Amino acid sequence: MLISLRNDHKEHLGLLTSQSVQVLIDFCKLAIDFLQSGPNLKFYASAAEKLSVEVDAVQNCVYGLVNLLLLSCKHKLSEADFRDSILTLGFSPEQENILHKFYESKKAEIAQILNKLTVNEPHYDNLEWRFEVQVSSRSLHQQVVPLMTLDLSLKTLKDDGSGYKKEHHLLQTDVTNLQHITHELEKALNESRSRHSRKIQRTLDNKV
């Protein structure tokens, strides 16, 4: 697959396509520094002076390069897919070779960063239930309300990514409330299938 960058990201990377291999290597170093320590405006100012461009252009270029690497790692691009994605952005084969080496050398580090950025929310695992009702009682002077006892099991990915940890939540509700919950969940499920929701999901998938 080929990764899809926003037009502004493509424009930011356009600064590098016309530069020498050494300049590209220097920007890879700036990207490494950004991943490890955050933005360094002093370095960006120095690079901007050498290239006779604005500091913002250098900063945006670094951001674009980091975003390119994050997306490549997120989608686990193969060597061929990475090459094709880079070449379609206007980079030369020699520049692509430099970027590929940079990508391979930083893949593990980038994966750790993505893992930290990912919201690790609990996911549905299983649901067991039983129907409870009091059949009779001498002290009972009102209508019996049947209850549903639920055992909701959720799983969450462990911090080291080695597997899932599970939690059980015991819940109890009456039939009327359960029907309301079911109705709301069905509404949410239908909304998630709407064109608007799919568009939002595609937008989020192309961002880090």
Number of H helices, E strands in the chain: 8, 3
Span 36-88, pLDDT tens digits: 788 888 999 999 999 999 999 999 999 988 888 888 887 888 888 888 888 88
- CA distances for 103 relative to 20, 50, 68, 143, 180, angstroms: 18, 25, 9, 68, 50
Span 134-184, pLDDT tens digits: 665 666 666 667 888 999 999 988 766 678 889 999 999 988 898 999 999
Q: Give the predicted TM-score (pTM) of the model.
A: 0.56
Backbone φ, ψ for residue 165 (5° rounding): -110, 140
